[in-house]
Structure 1
Amino acid sequence: MSIPQRLQGSGKCTTATADSAACRRCPPAPRRATLVQPRCQQRPGAHQPVDAADGADRWQQPQRRLAAALAGVAATAALLVGTPLDVAKARPVLTQDEKNTIALFQRSRPSVVYITSLTTRRDAFTLNMLEIPQGEGSGFVWDKQGHIVTNYHVIRGASDVLVTLSGGEGQPAKVVGFDEDKDVAVLQIQAKEMEASREGGGGRGPLTPLRLGDSADLEVGQKVFAIGNPFGLDHTLTAGSGTGREINSGNTGRPIQDVIQTDAAINPGHGGPLLDSSGSMIGINTAIYSQSGARNSAGVGFAIPVDVVKSSIIKYGKVVRPIMGISFAPDQSVEQLGVNGVLVLNARDGGPAAKAGVRGSTRDEYGRLVLGDIILAIDGKRINTASDLYRILDKCSVGDKLDVEVLRADATEHLTITLEASA
């Protein structure tokens, strides 16, 4: 019988006489497993595999290009300035104009106060009377006796007023007087109890009034500064330029003469003083005008001239204003008559104008209107509108005698009117 022989590495057997039976008697030889690496089918445009050396070189190429670009920028900058690039320097030295503005603010800050007006309301649940803030604004120290000047609209309708000086606490103030036409009010605090903080020293000193300036010669382009507490923010300074204008009072509608118009930002609550470049007070910030009518800093600000704060407010608690004792027609009515001047509607009995012989408008026996005197001039100065009349009266004092030229019927007459104090 043939002996089967296994071929190494083969699953077959061979015998001298290879027949199928002999092959079936041979045990099956183990097969050797062969792992086959699957091949990735390359897509068009796909990256071809690279060897390690080639890959490292390709990773280094962007870094080399970045380093070359940075070197080029540095070289260009060095050529432009002639020296290697310097490290960022510290903040530059302040300009002289900036130093002057900072010094002005530091000098004026102790004189500016924060004003809170309070009103009394009844609690809906407890029925208790409560004091709640109704408005905020600014003011400034007028003198060492504790008088504080602010806008009338800030304290209008208030049951109580609190005044807070720089670095201090709120203290009650009493209303001495006000001029509703000019939107000016005078308050008073206890000067001995209420002291302004001294800037930098940490101590306390007497009240510091602002130095009064002159707004009569204010020029367009002259720098002015508004200082106050807009929206309740503590001590804000804005700058602009200013010139003289005329506006109507927001409280009574009466014209306010020689108002300072400024483009310095004046926001609600940004009352207080308007200063010139020397730190002298030339006006009291009072109003904002914008085309939208909104009370914000998008328009033009106004300030009442400093000479409006008369000593009579402090002495009498009100403005003692000289009057003629007349009422007159609106300017539009006079324009329809084709004349320039102020048409007198009524001369108050016993008043200065009536004593001088000024006649008001009346009606005849048939009910037809008989025009009164038309004021054409005062002391030789033409009067075309009511604003012209107010402008002259604002510069007069009680007891002044005025030469008044009037048109009566078709003739002109000259009358002498002695001004009296307003009631």
Structure 2
Amino acid sequence: MIRVALIALLALPLAAQAAARPAVPTEDSTIQRFRAHAKPRPVAPRAPLTAEERNTIRRFREAKPSVVFISAFLPNPDPKGPPKLATGSGTGFVWDEWGHIVTNRHVIGAEVDGKLFADVTEVEITLADGKTYKGRVIGRSYAYDIAVIQAFAPLEAMRPIPLGQRSNLQVGQTVLAIGNPFGLDHSLSRGVISALGREISTGYSTWTTNSIQTDAAINPGNSGGPLLDTSGRLIGMNTAIVATRSEGSVGVGFALPVDTLNNIVPRLISKGKIETLQMGFTTLTPFEADQAFGIKRGLVVNDVDPGTPAARAGLRPLRVDKAGQLIAMGDILLAFEGVALTSAGQFKALLEWLTMVQTGLPPEQVVFDVLRDGQVIKVVLDLREPPASGPMKAQPASI
């Protein structure tokens, strides 16, 4: 009895302590208790915008009506499907008051596995007010990755961006990029000029010198958008980025300088292309050659015009019968002036470069590496008047 009573006496203080300790709240009770405090938070007073911020806002508002969203389409070969297929989209900007829109050529080119297989002609142009109009591609440069579109929109809606000048640009100065990244219309990014005079090569068979490097965010969909200085002047066209596997910007973007645009765009408006050396033949695209004949290397000569440098040099075209069955494979052009040929667009780019960079007379001869009957040979095209001795002869290559 004494032992039992002692244990009971020892237990009394413990019970008293337990009764005095507050209950530990559960998760549910905590949530319910704090729900009672739910109400809008007070707004903190805003400091005045800085002069730099006010200028950025002003320049964006001024340029926004000049920036357009471009949707490119191709006819659908499947009669059971929709009449046209979307091939891509990007950004463009108003060049002049006559409705000419400038963008990148790759924006209006359909691709398979990174190779251009069709140039789009018909596009849709969406202005900043959300209205959409038809447009037609009237000129394109393969070397400079520039295209010009005639927009069939009211001319009063065409507001060209004032032009700047590359010679005034400095590394470190602030720039503004406007575009439609990932289809999000009229997005603004801000950065600086990281470098000038960059030479870039893109996956669209273009080589561009004197490009502007910037850390302003340029993402897929920004292609063809304007790069502005803080005065709101056009100083370049956003063209390429160094991207990660996720296809996002890593802070290295490139823009064609405005001086290049001001040189090339008027030519494309008036002529539709940059006048190049006329050789007198056409080729299949790599996509066509691969699909029809399984040829994955070089360019297959499709047609040769009589009396041209190509005909005089003896280039052999593809021959098929009336049913489209192959009679004889045409020459396969592997290289031009020592540069391996990968696409028709790249070859056109090389011709443009050969034309544009000439400071004297055009070259009298050009050389192709040609695969013919399983053998690689050199074929020389004489661009002068036909020689009296007859056509040039193809010579086997020492490779």
Following TM superposition, by how much is the alpha carbon of 1:300 offset from its aligned partner in structure 2, in angstroms?
Answer: 0.9
Q: Which residue of 1 aligns with 2:226?
A: 273
Rounded to whole Å, the distance in 2 between the matches of 1:109 and 1:324 is: 41
| Residue from 301, 314, 327 that aligns with 2:269 | 314
1:216 partner SS = helix
Report what 2:191 is aligned to. Answer: 240
Counting matched residue pairs gives 260
Is 1:96 the equivalent of 2:31? no
Q: Which secondary structure does the structure 1 equivalent of 2:167 belong to? A: coil
Residue type at the aligned position of 1:251:
Y
Tell me what 2:256 maps to.
Answer: 304
Provide the TM-score with structure 2 as the length reference: 0.57
Match of 1:215 in 2: 166
* Residue 296 of structure 1: how far off its partner (Å): 1.8
* CA deviation after TM superposition for structure 1 residue 127, in Å: 2.1
Which of 138, 143, 146 in structure 2 is aligned with 1:181?
143
Confirm or deny: 8 A CA contact 1:228 1:236 kept in the other structure.
yes
Equivalent positions of 1:131-280 (< 5 A) are: 131-156=84-109, 157=118, 158=120, 160-191=122-153, 193=154, 195-196=156-157, 207-242=158-193, 243-252=196-205, 254-271=206-223, 272-280=225-233
* Identity in percent: 41
- Which protein has the larger Cα radius of gyration, Structure 1 or Structure 2? 1
1:235-260 per-residue CA deviation (whole Å, 9 max, x = no partner) reads 011111123311124322x5311011
From the superposition, tell whether residues 132 and 392 of structure 1 become closer, same or farther in structure 2 (CA, over 3 Å). closer
Deviations 1:16-41 (A, max 9, x none): xxxxxxxxxxxxxxxxxxxxxxx976
* Distance in 2, Cα, partners of 1:208 & 1:128: 37
- Structure 1, unmatched stretches of 5+, are 1-38, 60-86, 197-206, 326-348, 352-389, 403-423
One-letter code of the match for 2:11?
R
Question: Counterpart of 1:214 in structure 2: which amino acid?
Answer: Q
**2:396 — aligned with what?**
none
Cα–Cα, structure 1 residues 139 and 189, in superposed 2: closer, same or farther, change >3 Å?
A: same
Which structure has more relative contact order (CA 8 Å, sep 6+)? It is 2
CA distance in 1, matches of 2:146, 2:8: 92
**Distance of aligned partners of 1:47 and 1:266 in 2 relative to their CA distance in 1, 3 Å threshold:** same
Q: 1:50/1:246 Cα in 2 relative to 1: closer, same or farther (>3 Å)?
A: closer
Residue 170 of structure 1: how far off its partner (Å) = 1.4
Amino acid at match of 1:147: H
| Secondary structure, aligned partner of 2:102 | strand
- Asked if 2 retains the 8 angstrom alpha-carbon contact of 1:224 and 1:276, the reply is yes
Spell out, residue by residue over 1:161-203, the C-alpha distance to the aligned partner (whole angstroms, 9 max, x if none): 0001110321110111101111110000124x3653xxxxxxx
Q: 1:127 to 1:190 in 2, by over 3 A?
A: closer
2:236 to 268, 278, 283: 283
**2:60 paired with 1:105:** yes
Residues 163, 47 of structure 1: CA spacing in aligned structure 2 closer, same or farther, 3 A cutoff? same
Is contact 1:225–1:240 with CA below 8 Å preserved after alignment?
yes
Question: Quick one: which amino acid aligns to residue 46 of structure 1?
Answer: L
- Name 1:46's counterpart in structure 2: 14
Between the aligned partners of 1:391 and 1:245, the Cα distance in structure 2 is: 17
- Cα distance in structure 1, aligned partners of 2:162 and 2:175: 15
- Render the CA deviation track for 1:105-163: whole Å, top value 9, x for unaligned: 0010010000001122245xx72452232211000000011000001111113352000
After superposition, the Cα gap between the structure-2 partners of 1:239 and 1:128, relative to the gap in structure 1 and judged at 3 Å, is closer
CA distance in 1, matches of 2:61, 2:82: 41
Taking the aligned partners of 1:135 and 1:120, their CA distance within structure 2 comes to: 13
- Extract unaligned runs of 5+ from structure 2: 1-6, 23-41, 110-117, 280-306, 310-351, 363-399
CA-atom RMSD, angstroms? 3.9
Deviations 1:195-243 (A, max 9, x none): 53xxxxxxxxxx1001111123422111111101111101011111123
Query: Counterparts of 1:190 and 1:324 in 2: how far apart (Å)?
Result: 32
